[in-house]
Amino acid sequence: MGGSPLRILVVGAGIAGLAVARALRLAGFRPDVTDKLPPGESTETGLYLPGNAARALHRLGLHDPVRPLGQVIHRQRFFDAAGAPLCEVDLDALWAGVGECRALPRADLHRVLLSGAGGAVRHGAEVRTLDLLPRGVGVTFTDGTSTEYDLVIGADGPRSSVRTLASLGGPPRPVGQVVYRAVLRDGPPVTEWTALLGQRSGMLLVPIGANRLHCYADEAGTDPPADPLARLRDLFADYRGPVPEVLAALDRVHVGITDEVELGRWHRGRVLLVGDAAHATAPTLSQGAAMALEDAVVLAESLRAAGSVEAALVAYESRRRPRTRWVRDRTRDRNRTRDVPPALRDPLLRGRGGRIFGEHYRLLVGPL
């Protein structure tokens, strides 16, 4: 169906939606892209892209505009709360032949994707109803306008309205993590991906270029505190390494909870979910953006190769489920280590941690 006049609507203009729009344009389609939010910068955060994300960006023709951004990351280093080494993962070896690992501001990647998608997004357009028709989808927006499409793609995140309207699933499930994010300028000299692991909490520091650090921390729980910065300083007061300097320099932090989405199916009629709307997980493996970029590549290939929209959606889901299931299962595996007392966990990580953590990406190193 490549180059066919299919009328396609992509709901959501985040990483998943813009990547899908870019992939569809390369395949000869001209999708409409809508987002319920007004245009504007999102919360300032950093983003770490593993090697499989770089491979997907190559396939989307976006590697060159991304390459000058952020910083290439060569290894992951794990420490205990006192700052003593636990293990490390050689990322150049792990992702050899696949792609380099890079950390950058999320807004920078969003701008590249927006340009690659053609730049035209209808903002403030929230979907009110979806009517599943025999050969299409009737869409009504909250402003009262209605349009019929051959395919509607929900790329609107873990709290997807498309998922609800198409009866593909309910709200996401909280995984029991409160997360804190911030970008720190002119902080301590952290040059690689650096994680410090405590008892049911941890902090990650990743350089994203221009003397900026992406700071991510989490703890077990479901209720965000009223004063996130005070809670963060209290939670990590006994941590060593670069943490004291980070805590002293932070003046603002964003807090939220982590959700997980697990569905029996990703499409119904001619409505399809992609990215976090279909398979959100905790960010433990840093695969959220990578899975969204891969989704885009595979969906465009499936639509181009299939003889019908229905066949394309079946082919897409059959290709993507094994990889997203792997990410979900390995994420849960790694998250379970949070409940292991450091006295038992840390000796294991010092002996085998590099191999264990590297194994979590084994399937993802393989082809799409």
Return averaged pLDDT per consecutive 10 residues of the chain, 368 residues in all: 82 98 96 92 86 98 97 97 97 98 97 94 96 96 96 98 97 96 94 95 97 96 95 97 97 95 98 98 97 98 96 98 98 90 96 95 95
Which pTM was predicted?
Answer: 0.96
Two structure tokens written together for 73 = 């990351």
- Model pLDDT, residue 106: 96
- Where b means 16+ CB within 10 Å and e means fewer, 87-106 reads bbbebeebbeebbbbbbbbb
The C-alpha torsion from 322 through 323 and 328 to 334, rounded to 10°, is 120
Backbone angle region of 327, left / alpha / beta, with phi > 0 → left and psi within -120 to 50 → alpha: alpha
Q: Are 365 and 294 in contact (CB under 8 A)?
A: no
Burial degree of 226 (CB within 10 A; 0-12, 13-18, 19+): exposed
- Model pLDDT, residue 352: 96
Handedness of CA 12, 15, 18, 24 (dihedral sign): negative
Q: 330: helix, coil or strand?
A: helix
Domains with residue ranges and CATH for the chain: 8-72+106-172+260-339 (3.50.50.60)
Question: Strand locations in the chain, DSSP E?
Answer: 8-11, 32-35, 46-49, 71-73, 75-80, 85-90, 101-105, 122-123, 127-133, 136-141, 146-149, 151-154, 173-185, 193-197, 201-207, 212-220, 254-260, 267-268, 271-273
Q: Are 43 and 181 in contact (CB under 8 A)?
A: yes
Strand duo 136-141 + 146-149: pairing = antiparallel
